[in-house]
Structure 1
Amino acid sequence: MEKEHTITEEQKQLLQQTKLENGTNAWDWVLSQREEDQYWAVVGILSCMKKGYNLNDLMICWEARDIRYSK
């Protein structure tokens, strides 16, 4: 059985304030992903932000449930 993952209100607010190159915010992008992938999208984005990566240069690898910096 897969563990239940929770997205905190603080994480949600941070992503709502983070703009992507196309003008949308990162939270809207997360919501556009499949429901089962949304937690992993949040974790990947927050990890990349913490490392100082530009969110416009990300490569998504859903098979590995990973978001990687593409440059």
Structure 2
Amino acid sequence: MKALAFAAHQRTVCDQCGTRAAEWDEAAGGDRFAYVTTTVRCPGCELIAHEQEQVPDGPDGYGVRIGLVPRA
């Protein structure tokens, strides 16, 4: 039961920001101003973004995903 409840809860969490809609809904007891933004620079994400700029537009670039692997 706990696993099912946890899975149901996880489905309500935004993949991008990690909050739930109910946290923002004042009618549901949420607070529209409970969070503030912060800026964080991730060197890994920066490297991926730089490499994505090198992927060609059009058919040659379709389906190309950039990831990180440890240097051997």
Do both share a fold (TM > 0.5)?
A: no
More helix by share: 1
More strand by share: 1
Q: Larger relative contact order (C-alpha < 8 A, sep ≥ 6)?
A: 1
Q: TM-score, normalised by structure 2?
A: 0.28
